[in-house]
């Protein structure tokens, strides 16, 4: 892990050195801007590298019903490095963009972003190829640096956040309308799917900014996304923790065999007014099971709503449709004559619970899901 991190750092510095040697007439400036940023005088070349460290401590308890259903807790507290990330990104000739981001949490390197793209293409807008986020839901598109909670809402657990593929996106009418669409192949934590077979996912998203008043710090965002997916292994599984990565997974469907297709729809909205932010999403997933002499469709639904308020008066900025909320800048820097930025947040989420059951149909084992009624 340490070796890979050192290699990434060396690549970053070496790339900067090569560019600066090739273009001596355009000296580079180096500054700190949410990471170390190197920029040529004519703005043709921009390189940035940085990272983040998220440390999580958790304490747990569960009621008698959960003890009876899942057994008593093995441990009532825990700690982990939730995220240990390093990224290296840049833009060449104001047109070609690239990014490499690795996560070293958990003692193993995991690929997060690895793509190259071309922007400012007439009509099309922007094209990216590689390993990147699918344009499926608002909270997952927001960087983990800018979400108010340590963990994202449950919809992010119902589909892969990142996959290998090609993505097209463009903005229209002064960014009031944005469209993203792409074709992806399911990839593991290393960006690989060596036995993809029929595996494919087509995901599209359209959003609109009904209100975007920067002077009054007001914004109203709506969005809809759809994803059609054919699993490569004909298996499908949903397992969800109660939004703590150290907690047990209380919601789990087990492996649903013989899955033919998965259809996902997502509705999203976000509203900001000064220090206040409201955000909500609804996600529905339809899983079609097709076995010999038996077929069934399971529908999973989830929704959440969250509100937050900055006690110190900051405003959550909107970056763009695909990146959603961006970097927050405190009004007064902590330990530099100020208290920093302090935010209170509350989230409510609901997921339809299902339980796995096994039946015998014509001497064949059939896996089914039924509502638990709780």
Nearest to 347 by CA among 83, 148, 82, 140: 148
Residue 67 has a pLDDT of 80
Q: Which residues pair with 300 in a beta bridge?
A: 285
- For residue 345, give both structure tokens: 């947040």
What are the structural domain ranges in the chain?
Answer: 1-121, 134-374
Chain-centre distance of CA 329, in angstroms? 22
Q: Where does residue 215 rank: exposed (0-12), middle (13-18), buried (19+ CB within 10 A)?
A: exposed
CA distance linking residue 305 with residue 287, whole number of Å: 24
Report yes or no: 268 and 79 within 8 Å, Cβ to Cβ.
Answer: no
Other CB atoms within a 10 A radius of the CB of residue 115 amount to 21
Strand bridging mode 77-92 / 294-310: unpaired
Residue 194 has a pLDDT of 54
| pTM of the model as a whole | 0.83
Mean pLDDT for each 10-residue chunk of the chain (374 residues)? 51 54 66 84 88 90 82 84 93 94 89 94 94 93 92 79 93 94 78 65 96 93 94 73 82 79 94 97 88 78 94 94 92 84 93 54 49 41
Q: Which residues pair with 281 in a beta bridge?
A: 268, 304
CA distance linking residue 283 with residue 184, whole number of Å: 20
- For residue 32, give both structure tokens: 């700190």
Q: Is residue 214 helix, strand or coil?
A: coil
Residue 372 has a pLDDT of 44
Nearest to 163 by CA among 212, 235, 115: 115
pLDDT tens digit sequence for 211-222? 999 899 999 999
Domain range 134-374, CATH class: mainly beta
Other CB atoms within a 10 A radius of the CB of residue 272 amount to 21
Residue 153 has a pLDDT of 85
Residue 187 has a pLDDT of 65
Residue reference for tokens 């090739």:
22
Query: What does the DSSP assignment read for 115-158?
Result: EEEEEEETTTEEEEEEEEE-S--HHHHS-TTT-SSSS--GGGGS
Distances (CA, A) of 89 to 42, 75, 195, 299: 18, 40, 30, 39
pLDDT tens digit sequence for 158-171? 777 889 999 999 99
């Amino acid at each position: 892990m340490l070796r890979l991190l050192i290699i990434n750092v060396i690549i970053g510095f070496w790339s900067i050195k090569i560019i600066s040697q090739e273009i001596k007439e355009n000296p580079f400036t180096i500054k700190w801007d949410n990471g170390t940023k190197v920029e040529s005088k004519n703005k043709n070349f921009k390189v940035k590298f940085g990272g983040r460290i998220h440390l999580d401590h958790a304490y747990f308890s569960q009621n008698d019903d959960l003890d009876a259903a899942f057994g008593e807790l093995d441990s009532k507290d825990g700690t982990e490095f939730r995220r240990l990330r390093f990224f290296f990104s840049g833009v060449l000739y104001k047109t070609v963009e690239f990014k490499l981001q690795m996560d070293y949490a958990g003692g193993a390197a995991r690929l997060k972003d690895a793509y190259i793209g071309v922007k400012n293409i007439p009509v099309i807008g922007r094209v990216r190829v590689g390993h990147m986020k699918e344009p499926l839901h608002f909270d997952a598109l927001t960087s983990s640096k800018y979400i108010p909670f340590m963990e994202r809402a449950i919809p992010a657990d119902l589909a892969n956040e990142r996959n290998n593929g090609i993505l097209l996106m463009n903005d229209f009418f002064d960014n009031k309308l944005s469209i993203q669409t792409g074709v992806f192949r399911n990839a593991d934590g290393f960006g690989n799917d060596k036995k993809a077979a029929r595996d494919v996912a087509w995901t599209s998203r359209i959003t609109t900014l009904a209100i975007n008043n920067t002077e009054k710090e007001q914004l109203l965002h709506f969005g809809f996304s759809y994803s059609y997916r054919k699993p490569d292994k004909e298996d499908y599984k949903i397992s969800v923790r109660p939004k703590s990565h150290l907690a047990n997974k209380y919601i789990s469907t087990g492996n649903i065999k013989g899955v033919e297709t998965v259809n996902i729809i997502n509705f999203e909205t976000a509203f900001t007014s000064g220090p206040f932010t409201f955000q909500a999403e609804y996600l529905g997933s339809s899983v079609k099971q097709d076995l010999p002499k038996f077929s069934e469709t399971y529908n999973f639904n989830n929704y959440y709503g969250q509100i937050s308020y900055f006690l110190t008066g900051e405003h959550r900025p909107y970056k763009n449709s695909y990146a959603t909320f961006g970097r927050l800048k405190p009004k007064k820097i902590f330990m530099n004559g100020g208290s920093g930025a302090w935010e209170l947040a509350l989230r409510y989420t609901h997921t339809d619970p299902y339980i796995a059951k096994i039946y015998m149909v014509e001497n064949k084992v059939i896996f089914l899901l039924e509502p638990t009624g709780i």
